[in-house]
Amino acid sequence: MTLSLFKTDRPSPSRALAAFSGFALIAMLLAVTLHAEDRAVKQRVAPIYPEIAKRMGITGVVQVQATVAPDGKVTAVKTVSGNHMLASAAEDAVQRWRFVAGDSQSTVNVDLNFTLNH
């Protein structure tokens, strides 16, 4: 009986890196393909400025990522960046937006600018 301390059937680190790099490239290309489509907005709904944020003078841009179904309805939203006190209002508004119908589901980034009129 022979006991081997080293396995020789494992791929070399350079081969593993090459395989991973190829996989990463494919995943990145798929991500670009699935998320790069711009969909025209058919109907916008303005966000309701949160009263507490108004009183505190909070302004700024909130970026929301919306998943849009082929029929143009928003099926999911999530805040990507911006003030957390404005995020819910932005998400609620974009959830009610309607986009032009498309061939497939897509992901769209929307920037909503909250400003105070003095």
Interval 79-109: pLDDT, tens: 999 999 999 999 999 999 999 999 999 999 9
Does residue 103 contact residue 73 with C-beta atoms inside 8 Å? Answer: no
Q: Which two tokens stand for residue 59?
A: 């302004």
pLDDT band at 37 (very low <50, low <70, confident <90, very high): low
For residue 47, tell me if it sits in a domain.
yes
For residue 43, tell me if it sits in a domain.
yes
pLDDT band at 38 (very low <50, low <70, confident <90, very high): confident
- Check: pTM over 0.85? Answer yes or no: no
For residue 15, tell me if it sits in a domain.
no
Q: How many domains does the chain have?
A: 1
Print the domain residue range for 62.
Answer: 38-114
Q: How far apart are CA 85 and CA 60, in angstroms?
A: 10
For residue 22, tell me if it sits in a domain.
no
CATH no. for residue 59? Answer: 3.30.2420.10
Which residue is it, tokens 């109907």?
A: 43
Residue 72, number of CB atoms within 10 A of its CB: 17
